[in-house]
Amino acid sequence: MPDNGDAELRLISTVNMANIQYVALSHCWGTKTHLKTTSENLDAMLSGISLKALPKTCRHAVRVCRNLGLRYLWIDSLCIIQGNESEWRHEAGKMSTVYGNAFLVIVASAASGDHGGIFPGRITNYLYTLNFEWKGHDIELKLQPWRTHYLAQHGAGEGYLSRRGWAYQERLLGRRSLLYHRDEIAWECNETWRCECGVGDRVGGPKYHYNLHEMILSAQHNPQILYEKWRLVILDRLLSKQTDKLPAISGVAEVFRFHLKDDYLAGLWRRDLLRGLLWRNITNLYATFPASEYCAPSWSWASLTGYTTAHYVPWGDEEFCAEILDAHCETVGKELTGEVTGGWITISGPLAKGSFMVPLEVLERSLYSTIPFAMDKKQGQSSSVEYCGVDCSIGAWLGQAGTDGVLEQIGMRLKRPPPRKPINLTSEKRTYPLDECNVRIWCLKIGQGLLCHRTLYHTFLILGKSQKREGSFERLGVGIIRSRKFIASFDEKAIHTTVTII
């Protein structure tokens, strides 16, 4: 990148250039068409790029680099050949190196697209001045809304980019980041976090969920801590393509894989798999659905579309009764932490039949919900009803039951059969009348634990039979049960069985 502000830019090959001090840009492309490098224009881009041809955010990044006296700038849309899937997958797997080795990461936090630029218009009344007298001295205080600033430091709410999946990885991998928020500039590195107004200045690094260096250091004597930190990486963020869920964190996953010396399985880890399978969706604001395109096996949190949030079930002193016999993921190409095309887990443990008892109001609710369920009962016995968390909208599953068969309807009070197409849950008029639907499920007990060393609870995977692969199951949700009556009923009916979950 020439020093002259009016000079043209150009792409260069760095294959034979060692120890280059370069800047990487973290930004949201947006929906508008802008200049990208393709196989067709690669030679032209190597010859020269007009600064005016770049979108606003990229032009601003060039200005920042020149003002800092830095010559080289890495921008994904320009430095990765677009439109070539194999090239993209290869480069996506190198993000830990690209952003991890960058001298500086410029974060265009406030821009929803490359047309927005790095420098947004500031709110002029963002800081408030309060003048008063105290003990004979004139005091002037600068006041700023705390919540907005606090969220800026913690990567939520302040700036469009903070909610984007790829951007989280880029910021996490960077050693030094210069963040251009809506109302101020902030600096963060492995040692400190500083902001323009001074309210949030702190020494010791940013909060650990934005500092990969601190994550690794905190776990150097106890690898189990690093498995716990992984939960913070998989907190879901917005993605333009749902199939990017795993590629968007592949760089961070590669760093974890190096330190854990463990096998990565579609967002989970082999040695932590029993606990990892107990993730749960706690989103109550957005509907989640099974992915229309294959993203991951059903036992992975990455298998759902929509704005989901995955949290592990909290464990105290755990004791597992299930055993992982085999686990495998089929990846695209040689990248072990990127896209997957298939996967399965063979697991052995206590298994018993049960059923969802889905009331009408739950069917009409498109949001994530808890669902009542019970073990099958013998004639004359009462059944203990408990609640489990389902991975996505139960109505979405039932609407697709005629085609994918994940949920087997075993009792439905209907005046006519359900449609074979997905139910429109937001419609004021239901497509068919019903009062309650009973659906066959299987409960696989994973283990039990003491929460806070006092409360005993049992954990279950909730499964449904799959028609994608005969004899296999798919995950529907997770149950956390404390009822002694339910556990007694389960223990009476459960048979130690080996199943495969896809």
The torsion angles phi and psi of 493, rounded to 5 degrees, stand at -100, -20
d(CA 484, CA 493): 14
Residue 130 lies in a domain: no
Residue 192 and residue 336 in one domain: no
pLDDT for the residue 190: 78
Question: Residue 353 burial (CB < 10 Å; 0-12/13-18/19+)?
Answer: middle
* Single-letter amino acid code for the residue at 246: L
The torsion angles phi and psi of 121, rounded to 5 degrees, stand at -70, 130
Residue 189 and residue 82 in one domain: yes
d(CA 416, CA 79): 57
Contact 346, 500 (CB under 8 A): yes
d(CA 385, CA 358): 12
d(CA 455, CA 449): 8
Question: Residue 261 burial (CB < 10 Å; 0-12/13-18/19+)?
Answer: exposed
Neighbours of 144 (CB within 10 A): 17
Mean per-residue pLDDT pooled into runs of 10, the chain (502 residues): 64 85 92 87 92 93 94 94 84 86 92 85 67 87 61 50 72 88 83 74 50 69 81 68 82 89 95 89 55 84 69 68 97 87 96 73 50 58 58 49 40 39 35 52 89 79 86 87 83 94 96
- Of the three residues 202, 218, 234, the one that is the final residue of a domain is 218
d(CA 429, CA 345): 41
Residue 41 lies in a domain: yes
- Of the three residues 218, 238, 263, the one that is the final residue of a domain is 218
Residue 284 and residue 376 in one domain: yes
Residue 6 lies in a domain: no
**The domain containing residue 408 runs over which residues?**
271-501
- Of the three residues 155, 183, 218, the one that is the final residue of a domain is 218
H or E segment at 232?
helix 223-233
pLDDT for the residue 75: 95
HEC profile of 279-338: EEECCCCCCCEECCCCCCCCCCHHHEECCCCEEECCCCCCEECCEEEEEEEEECCCCCCC
Residue 282 and residue 198 in one domain: no
The HSE-up count of residue 46 (CA atoms within 13 Å, CB side) is: 11
Residue 214 and residue 277 in one domain: no
Residue 395 and residue 456 in one domain: yes
Residue 246 lies in a domain: no
Residue 482 lies in a domain: yes
Residue 187 lies in a domain: yes
Residue 283 and residue 393 in one domain: yes
Residue 202 and residue 291 in one domain: no
Q: Which residue, chain included where needed, has tokens 């994973």?
A: 446
Residue 281 and residue 427 in one domain: yes
Residue 371 and residue 450 in one domain: yes
Residue 424 lies in a domain: yes
Torsion sign, CA atoms 84, 89, 92, 94: negative
Residue 323 and residue 472 in one domain: yes
Residue 166 and residue 289 in one domain: no
Q: How many domains does the chain have?
A: 2
d(CA 496, CA 419): 36
Q: Which residue, chain included where needed, has tokens 């296999």?
A: 472
pLDDT for the residue 438: 65
Residue 127 lies in a domain: no
Stated pTM of the model: 0.75
Torsion sign, CA atoms 338, 344, 348, 351: positive
Strand order in the sheet with 72-74: 72-74, 22-26, 104-107, 176-180, 185-189, 192-195, 202-203
